[in-house]
């Protein structure tokens, strides 16, 4: 099992509208709007690293209003 955190930057005013869409994606366990350098933090659990990549690069980055993502794979 691969556990990862995806940090999402959104366009101004888009975070709340994107939150439900992100939460509905396959492999997403939790997603929260946060204060700080990123707008949404997403927790992902997948069988393979490739599935984490798909969730980040295709599913999340494909949503209208997403500006950028950073993915961090948990190593513990």
Domains and CATH numbers, the chain: 2-73 (3.30.70.920)
pTM to 2 decimal places: 0.95
pLDDT in tens, 38-73: 999 999 999 999 999 999 999 999 999 999 999 999
- Interacting residues of 31 by C-beta distance below 8 A, sequence separation 6+: 19, 22, 23, 40, 41, 42, 43
What gap in Å lies between CA 1 and CA 66, rounded to an integer?
26
What pLDDT is attached to residue 76? Answer: 83
């Amino acid at each position: 099992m691969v556990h990862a955190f995806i940090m999402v930057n959104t366009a101004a005013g888009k975070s709340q509208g994107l939150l439900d869409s992100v939460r509905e994606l396959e492999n997403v366990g939790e997603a929260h709007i946060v204060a700080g350098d990123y707008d949404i933090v997403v927790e992902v659990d997948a069988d393979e690293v490739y599935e984490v990549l798909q969730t980040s690069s295709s599913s999340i980055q494909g949503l209208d209003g997403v500006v950028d993502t950073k993915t961090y794979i948990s190593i513990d």
